[in-house]
A and B are shown apart, each in its own frame.
Chain A
Amino acid sequence: MDSPRGRIYQMIQVEKGRLPLGESFVEHIDLCLDCRACETACPSGVEYGKLVEAARAQIEKHYHRPPLATLLRKLFYYEILPHPRRLRAAGKLLRLYQRSGLEAVLRATHLLSLFPGRLDRVAELAPRMEAPFFFDRLGTTVPAEGLRRFRVALFAGCIANLSFARLNDATVRVLARNGCEVVIVPDQVCCGALHVHAGIRDVARNLARRNIQAFTGRGFDAVISNAAGCGSVLKEYPLLFEEEGKEFHQPAREFSANVRDVTEFLAEIGLTPKLGMMKLRATYQDPCHLGHAQRIRTAPRKLLAAVPGLELIELKEAEVCCGSAGIYNVVHNEMSDRLLEGKMRRIDETRADLVLTANPGCLLQLRAGVKREGRHQRVMHVIELLDEAYRLAG
């Protein structure tokens, strides 16, 4: 029963003072995926993402959530995400939990299902901690293979340092293979996308400032992200400085103008040939923050078309969210599951062996879907596929 139309109507009524900033409003605004599919559909050009993020900032300011939710939000958004060292410590703890066998025990005994809510379902979504963490690579530079055509910076992310370390490695390799010197600047921090989506704009603004300073003035041809959610907010940093911290507006604009999604960048410069044969039937799911927010749809398909042997079957409703949506699948697990179920049905229809996408969150969600349905499909980032194809070519 939810729709962007209704949410905008509610925003107007709150503004007019007819609707209190209370339970009903918070419920509907919270339930939005912020997938921005409505922006793609909207002929009037309404920038809904901006509206819902502003509404969430109002909620954050004026609405009191229950104590437990407040505590968890404080911990996650304020105390862990913005601090690389604490993130690393949390990653180590989680790795211990996953490796010690404790996780296996909990799963086998179904102990988690004893907790209220859907803790057992949510636990399935937890990413694997990948050693060594990508944090160790911060501050290093990887030279281009062959002639140096570009000098780029990799945006490494926050949680990705822990659980998508191998994806980041693959991204560096593929960029280097395509003539890029890849600099992994040391002082970069979380992009703040999750904060923007949660309405916590002050923390997001702070993170944005640190990133702008970390990347600016070093003569990069592009700042490259392999996460659609991160890339999208990096490109929208100027919005954070429209009302506050206006002195950062211009630097933010310069920084954002230089940000590229990795698929966008590679499609732009043209792939170095010599990709190995990948005889696979594949399909591609558009990440919402790539397709809708960044409007990048042809670039990843163009890259896939360059892989010899790969047969790409278009996924019906590829533009519909898989239910991942940042941490939506954790917070609104039931609704997210419904989306995932529909998505898995569509994937089955393609009879593909390989499901490709271009965002870490979507990878986790789709992998959980494959596992839950007892399916066999591999789920990969477009870059991981290119990396494998290059490796095969030797």
Chain B
Amino acid sequence: MKPNGLSRELAGIVGEDGVLWRRDDLMLYEYDALSSMRQPDVVVFPRNTGNVVKIAKAAMRHNLPLVARGAGTGLSGGSVATEGGVLLVFSRMKQILEIDLENQRARVQPGVVNLDLSMAVADDGYYYAPDPSSQRACTIGGNVAENSGGPHTLAYGVTTNHVLALEIVLPDGEVIHTGARHWDRPGYDLTGMFVGSEGTLGIVTEITVRLSRKPEAVKTLLAIYSETADATRTVAAITARGITPAALEMMDGFCLRAVEEATHAGYPMDCAAVLLIEVEGLKESVEEHADEIEAVCRENRAREVRRAKSAEERDLLWKGRKTAFGALGRITPNYYVQDGVIPRTRLPEMLDFITALEKKYELHIGNIFHAGDGNLHPLILYDERNREQTAQVIKAAKEIITRCVEMGGSITGEHGVGLEKSDLMPLIFSENDLDLMRRIKDLFNPHGRLNPGKVLPTGKMCGELRGGLLGGGPV
């Protein structure tokens, strides 16, 4: 087997060791954290913006799709080349180019791992606020594409609230810059438009982000409940008091038992649900808010409210929460995580609905929610080798999302639309809305070669592909 003309051309740009073209190697890029789908025609690892420009031009000459990929941790199929083409992988563009603490900003390449940036400035008392649970692995480039959130989204917002400026390569190789390094910028907010565009408008090659100062004090509380409904009622009650915790997470007892087995963080094994609540700020106010929250928890029949006594204990609780999806791997080989949003006042109702679905489809569903902002992550457990069960999973997931929309919510909170949910877009957008998005896309990506088949419904994104989404294996 020999490399084809395109592979040789790309090797001329990034070197022989920067291109993968053998089928056996391409196979490693046919999946992300959603599922396995299709191989790209070639994988290329650029080292700088100049490389990306040349690669984009080569893809244009060969009229091939161009898809960007970070760490492949995405949960909506966004970084899989579902129509083949050139897959740009950013694992060699992982330099922090500049840290400017005085102005609270950093300039990074897209392949920088989220947590690595926070670690780099931790000793100086700063951090990068968006904290997806996969932050040990996922890249900032990927976070920008998906507009990722995390547990602390509740207080600090999502990725778009922390991106100041972008360098972008358009599909014809043109380089543009959006935003500004300072916090105010005149003109259209193009940065805001690119963040969350999932690689369909341009390829981001450099990102200037805001760095945040670590709070003076942090208190982490664990409220333990014997009834799930009490936990969900507490969520609305806390915010009704006018307190905004930095994070307000819910995990049900089913998930907790797997999490505890994995982390030994001291999570109770016999409860129905817990809330993991964090308050940050000045020493004096934090203490007061923590007391107030504890009182609300108890009013709503919390069995016990614990406070982390040390930084280690706090880290362990968070480790448990952030590795929770993976921990469920101890129970079944596969899970399908949904990412829906509802008004937080309707959490109790939603949980009842999910419990009913479990019975209806004979499935196990674990519940891990960013409860404070109403972002649900029901985890439907299954074994992909069981075809029948897999089909049930897809049906149950669809019902959950539909119910979210009916409750006045959304089809995704933070995992993106990707391939997974493009056909659900009409549930929340009118034909006019979608048409405007299509026109914007055509402006930047006129031939549709950038990450084709993602975000916007294509019509051909049909049932059989969705059916094969989970465990169907590559198509």
Contacts and interface: CB of A to CB of B under 8 A. Distances in A.
A24 B326 CA distance: 27
Contacts of A44: 262, 326-330
B24 interface: yes
Given A44-B329, A44-B330, A24 B24 contact: yes
A45 B91 CA distance: 26
B91 A1 contact: yes
Interface size class, chain B? 20 to 34
A23 B24 contact: yes
A46 interface: yes
A20 B326 contact: no
Contacts of A41: 136
Contact of B323 (A10, A23, A24, A43): A43
A279 interface: no
Interface in B430-457: none
Contact of B27 (A1, A13, A45): A13
Nearest to A45: B330
A44 B334 CA distance: 11
B45 interface: yes
B263 A43 contact: yes
A93 interface: no
A18 B329 contact: no
B329 A24 contact: no
Interface residues of A, number: 18
Given A1-B91, A9-B31, A24 B25 contact: yes
> Which of A9, A19, A23, A44 has most chain B Cβ within 10 Å?
A44
A46 B329 contact: yes
B354 interface: no
Contacts of B129: none
Interface string A10-22: 1001000011101
B262 A43 contact: yes
A351 to B, nearest CB: 15
A45 B24 contact: no
A75 B102 CA distance: 61
B324 interface: yes
Given A1-B91, A9-B31, A43-B262, A19 B326 contact: no
Interface string B324-354: 1111111000000000000000000000000
Nearest to B17: A1
B387 interface: no
B465 to A, nearest CB: 20
Contacts of B328: 44
A142 to B, nearest CB: 39
Given A1-B45, A1-B91, A42 B27 contact: no
A41 B31 CA distance: 21
B22 interface: yes
A369 to B, nearest CB: 23
A43 B326 contact: yes
Contacts of B327: 43-44
Contacts of B22: 24
B28 interface: yes
A41 B323 CA distance: 9
A23 B20 CA distance: 13
A19 B24 contact: yes
Contacts of A45: 261-262, 329-330
Contacts of A9: 27-28, 31
A42 B326 contact: yes
A150 interface: no
A25 interface: yes
Nearest to B72: A5
A6 interface: yes
Contacts of A42: 326
B329 A22 contact: no
Contacts of B324: 43
A290 B326 CA distance: 24
A18 B27 contact: yes
A10 B36 CA distance: 12
30 contacts: A1-B91, A6-B28, A9-B31, A10-B27, A10-B28, A13-B27, A18-B27, A19-B24, A19-B27, A20-B24, A22-B24, A25-B24, A41-B136, A42-B326, A43-B259, A43-B262, A43-B263, A43-B323, A43-B326, A43-B327, A43-B329, A44-B262, A44-B326, A44-B328, A44-B329, A44-B330, A45-B261, A45-B262, A45-B329, A46-B329
Given A13-B27, A44-B327, 12 more contacts: A19-B24, A20-B24, A24-B24, A24-B25, A25-B24, A43-B326, A43-B327, A43-B329, A44-B262, A44-B330, A45-B329, A46-B329
Interface of B: 20, 22, 24-25, 27-28, 31, 45, 89, 91, 136, 259, 261-263, 323-330
Interface of A: 1, 6, 9-10, 13, 18-20, 22-25, 41-46
Q: Which 8 A-B pairs have the closest CB atoms?
A: A44-B329, A43-B323, A43-B326, A24-B24, A43-B327, A43-B262, A6-B28, A44-B326
